[in-house]
Chain A
């Protein structure tokens, strides 16, 4: 043994041991459990939420999403760093906001990037959309706001027939044509591609825009129906009865209790709490009181039960460690 071990183990009785044999036994047991669970239980594989599905199955929800993003009322529009420079909206504690330190690293103007840019591509194929887009882009921002607000309100009472979304008559300008066009693009399965296609085509490994498109109401509604919201301890389980990251249970716990469960700064608050817990764990060996907990709860007696009951009565005497 190393000199350090030799000194430490001086006087301690030793027994024969086979590390590799023990390792193979444990590997065999773990492998057997994994083989059986993989065969019998499998693993989760719930389908993704695709734009084509939302456009065809929930056309009103799609239109509301698109119209909300176009109007600038999506959460993404004024998110703050790393997407926009709205630093006031970044999470903070006592005025300290780590989110702002690196600035806008992934600039995203939601209305432009998620709606107007894909429509500009579609305009190459559709004269109707081209005309509507031109009318929208040349209108004043007040006029755009008026159209968007009126159309968003009208969508609250929208009906669907033959796959088309109908709203009451009103002054919506070119917005319905634009939203219809975007929904057609999505229904054809081309929206995700249009969102990513001005990046490094034909290579697209970054799905940031496509994943952000439905992140508000649509994703939350799906997650809610599958018990996966943060308030439902979503992180500790996956779809169905499969376990998720259950080891993050303590992390998820803090999202359930005030003030974190209702705070706009909840993520930062929970992260700070977890950092404190981690530091306590790290320094626990030298924190008076806490480092004596093991002696208090006596569970160590289970681990060393044989040692404490040695026939020669040596257990717990000279060779034992200090606490």
Chain B
């Protein structure tokens, strides 16, 4: 078994250069409703860039420095736009029933990405080292304790939350989003819903959603 050859075959079969950097798109991809995913992605780019700057100066930097406060504000609003893009992307993909034609796994990895992003947001709020963090920490600990993970994911442990926020959750989120994007590009945009309901003998609702 040659793992490298297998990886080559996987890439050739699933992700050509045209998939990664497309120069053509189906004509039905022609509205601003398609841009919310890109909005979320670009919000994520800004979150990472501003987050990297803050990594050098620490989570309390912005309390004492006007520049730090501005960078923190950019991080904050990038996060807000990221979630605006993410939530609208989810709503639009639901409206489009974008899981059709064997795209269920794309839908699932998108939801997992949203879940990871929510944890990233929570740990980010805890890193503000402000009253908001203080209050969210004591409130969130009850929820974590109730579901049995409070002993391992302690919202009151600032050191743990910092490393989780800057390393663990972003890594997991990026992996999930990466898989989601790979599936999106591999499968190409889902076709429009037929305006006419499926006829007898045609595939039933939800029938063509699973893996091939």
Contact = CB atoms under 8 A, between A and B. Distances in A.
Interface string B109-133: 0010001001001100100111111
B44 to A, nearest CB: 10
B6 interface: no
Interface string B196-208: 1110001101111
Nearest to B145: A99
Interface in A8-64: 8-9, 12-20, 22-23, 26-27, 30-31, 33-35, 37-39, 41-49
B26 A207 contact: no
Contacts of A163: none
B151 A48 contact: no
Majority SS at the chain B contact face:
helix
Contacts of B43: 30, 34
Contacts of A17: 22-25, 29
Interface in B1-56: 13-16, 18-19, 21-31, 33-35, 38-39, 41-43, 45-46
B154 to A, nearest CB: 6
A248 to B, nearest CB: 7
B171 interface: no
A160 interface: no
B42 A30 contact: yes
Nearest to B37: A26
B50 to A, nearest CB: 9
B150 A82 contact: yes
A238 B72 CA distance: 15
A20 B197 CA distance: 37
A19 B69 contact: no
A41 B81 CA distance: 14
Nearest to A9: B188
Interface in B104-163: 104, 107-108, 111, 115, 118, 121-122, 125, 128-139, 142-143, 145-152, 154, 156-160, 162
B60 to A, nearest CB: 10
Interface residues of B, number: 110
Given A48-B130, A267-B146, A295-B193, A4 B42 contact: no
B87 interface: yes
B33 A302 contact: yes
B70 to A, nearest CB: 6
B210 interface: yes
Contacts of A19: 21-23
Given A267-B142, A321-B191, A286 B210 contact: yes
A101 to B, nearest CB: 5
Interface of B: 13-16, 18-19, 21-31, 33-35, 38-39, 41-43, 45-46, 62-63, 69-70, 72-78, 80-81, 83, 86-87, 92, 94-97, 99-101, 104, 107-108, 111, 115, 118, 121-122, 125, 128-139, 142-143, 145-152, 154, 156-160, 162, 186-188, 190-198, 202-203, 205-210, 212
